[in-house]
Amino acid sequence: MTTTSEVLPEPAAVRPAGLASAISDALVLTERNLIGYVRIPQALFFSTVQPVMFVLLFRYVFGGAIATPGMSYVDYLMPGIFVQTVMFGAVSTSIGLAEDLQKGLVERFRSLPMASSAVLAGRTTADACRNVFVLVLITIVGFLVGFRVHTDALAYLAAFGLMLLFAYALSWGFAIIGLSAPNSETAQLMSFPVLFPLVFASTAFVPAQTMPSWLQPFAEHQPVSVVVNAVRALTQGGPTARWVIPAILWSVGLLVVLMPLAVRRYRRSV
Amino acid sequence: MAAAIEAERLVKVFSGGVRALDGVSFTVERGTVLGLLGPNGAGKTTCVRVLTTTLVPDAGTAAVHGHDVVTAARQVRESIGLAGQYAAVDENLTGRENLRMIGQLMHIGRRDATRIADELLERFTLTDAADRPARTYSGGMRRRLDIAAALVHRPPVLFLDEPTTGLDPSSRNAVWTLIEELVGLGTTVLLTTQYLEEADRLADRIVVVDRGTVIAEGTAAELKSSLGQTVLDLRFPSPEDAERAHSVLARRPLGAPTRDGTVVSTGIEGGPHEVLEILRSLEEAGVRASTMAVREPSLDDVFLDLTGHRTFADEEKEQR
């Protein structure tokens, strides 16, 4: 009998199972997503334009009207901008997954004998890499408009790592949105109602004391404020443990909850 | 040896109560092509999705290459290739990168994955475009790349969900030749299509589904012969005349007539004199045909007879 082996290559090697295989799959897909970002540099470039605009807007337009106790407004502002930037970046997780779903790529991946976490892990990891690039860029912009780190490089790196962790956790949440959306445009629209209250009803741009009293408890304790305050403490000085520990707990907590929910949603996705 | 694909009374009900599959059973022998035909929404894609493990059935069982699609999904996935309705390739990756990615996800190893990618590109005449992003590919190239991606791990069973929908005739022919080659080499293929010509050319057996159930099954020749030896097409000056003629012909004991616009078709069994009888009975009823044709039955006729739709391609046109 003639078999396929005469023209097609030898059969696939025996697959390793378990965690090593899941990590390998995730890395292959991370690479795939990163290639996508590199191939369309315009998308990456223009996604950094918005945060730069925010820097300029708050630094030079609104900033004069906002009083910040104990530090200059630009030093107060930049940690908020950093966190806002990685959060807006998390929307790209939902857009990217909605696109893969729409184009039938998810269907193909689901028909392959690969880990069901790999598509999500590959996307969120690629988005974390993207965040590294964007955060470096925004830090440079911050320095250009007068932002300074008043602690040391190590503390800044700790802040950087904390923001990456927080954004990574959020990515898994936005992955759920992406998997639930009928297309990428809707995924983007669905992400904003989640994003806006978290970013703006926070201490990212203005101190909570200026807000109405009913909003203050939320603005002071919600995770974005906690992370922003931790980044402020790490870059500007002051008691760090009070904010950094809750910020880590929030990030890890969100990750532990959102990751399995996202994988479950993926398994059920169309 | 077990059949390549065995579906037993598959049921899938979607939220909203749509019974996409309502007890579908069929068997595909190894090394053969099964054409799964049916109008849009008949349950073809749902069926493919159940058999490729991306959807879990609500009832019934199915085995692919001897593995149960629910309890041994991983083994099934290792035995199948899927080329979907929309060419599922990553547009930002080049052709070579797309195939290499699938190879790596199959744990073939980067070097082997690259070699296999190159061989497939060569075989699918995509070598010249291998290093261009897939978004620059034409529809036909994309479809070839999509099918190539389904073949990276040399699956013994291949699922092709409408592999030529939206392709121009020459690309369609190229895909057909490719499928024929694969089958010649021992691959089992389940093919869904809306094109009767495609099923006629490629499929050893045809299963017709409509509203989630199998309404006919057999070889193309068997399905056609169910309509009788010959088909008579009569065109009338107006749809009203055609309708009247239809009701006259419906009284005949043989070959239930079908109407499509101003054309009424009916099967004839008894030879030329039967045509005369038909024309006479129409004359008596006061309707006169403007043109007449006698021909072999086509799969189109089978469909019209079974589903009440003309060809699916026509149906698509109407929807547009």
Q: Residue B74 has which token pair?
A: 């991983």
Indicate whether B254 pLDDT > 70: no
Does any domain span residue A89?
yes
CB burial of residue B245 (10 Å; 0-12, 13-18, 19+): buried
Average pLDDT rounded to a whole number, residues B83-95 = 85
When the pLDDT of each residue in chain A is averaged and rounded to a whole number, the result is: 89
Between these two residues, B174 and A139, which has the higher pLDDT value? A139
Distance CA A74, CA A91 (A): 26
Does any domain span residue A221?
yes
* Chain A nearest CA to B310, separation (Å): 29
- In this prediction, residue B275 carries a pLDDT of 87
- Terminal alpha carbon distance of chain B: 46
Contacts of A28 in chain B (CB under 8 A): 101, 104-105
Indicate whether A194 pLDDT > 70: yes
- Domain ranges, ordered by start, for chain B: 5-218, 228-296
- In this prediction, residue B110 carries a pLDDT of 85
Average pLDDT rounded to a whole number, residues A215-221 = 91
Give B301's pLDDT tier (boundaries 50, 70, 90): confident
Does any domain span residue A11?
no
DSSP H or E run through A23: helix A19-39
- In this prediction, residue A68 carries a pLDDT of 85
DSSP H or E run through B161: strand B157-161
Residue pLDDT, tens place only, A75-133 = 999 999 999 999 988 898 999 999 999 988 998 898 898 888 899 999 999 999 999 99
At the top level of CATH, the class of B228-296 is alpha beta
| Structural domain range at position A71 | 28-203+212-268
Indicate whether A144 pLDDT > 90: yes
Between these two residues, B29 and B261, which has the higher pLDDT value? B29
- In this prediction, residue B51 carries a pLDDT of 95
Given B102, B108, B187, which is nearest A4 (Cβ)?
Answer: B187
Stretch among B32-41, B125-134, B225-234 having the lowest mean pLDDT: B225-234
Does any domain span residue A72?
yes
Does any domain span residue A16?
no
Average pLDDT rounded to a whole number, residues B67-91 = 89
Question: With an 8 Å Cβ cutoff, is B242 touching chain A?
Answer: no
- Distance of alpha carbon B291 from its chain centroid, rounded? 32
Choose among A82, A57, A46: nearest CA to A236.
A82
Given A15, A35, A109, which is nearest B92 (Cβ)?
Answer: A35
Indicate whether A5 pLDDT > 70: no
At the top level of CATH, the class of B5-218 is alpha beta
When the pLDDT of each residue in chain B is averaged and rounded to a whole number, the result is: 86
Number of structural domains in chain A:
1
Contacts of A107 in chain B (CB under 8 A): 49, 54, 82, 84, 88
Contacts of B78 in chain A (CB under 8 A): 12, 15, 113
Any idea what the Cα angle at residue B218 is, between residues B10 and B251, rounded to 5°?
Answer: 105
Indicate whether B150 pLDDT > 70: yes
Q: What separation in angstroms does the CA of A246 have from each of A46, A174, B200, B263? A: 33, 22, 67, 77
- Residue type for position A168: Y
What is the chain B residue with the closest CA to A119? Answer: B105
Indicate whether A145 pLDDT > 80: yes
Contacts of A114 in chain B (CB under 8 A): 105-106
- Residue type for position B142: R
Which residues of A make CB contacts under 8 Å with B?
A: 1-13, 15-16, 21, 24-25, 28-29, 31-32, 35-36, 39-40, 103-105, 107-114, 118
- Residue type for position A176: I
List Cβ neighbours of B285 (8 Å cut-off, separation of 6 or more): B244, B245, B248
CB burial of residue A46 (10 Å; 0-12, 13-18, 19+): exposed
Between these two residues, A43 and B285, which has the higher pLDDT value? B285
Across the interface, whether the CB atoms of A111 and B53 are under 8 A apart is answered yes
- In this prediction, residue B84 carries a pLDDT of 76
Question: With an 8 Å Cβ cutoff, is B158 touching chain A?
Answer: no
Across the interface, whether the CB atoms of B182 and A4 are under 8 A apart is answered yes
- In this prediction, residue B227 carries a pLDDT of 65
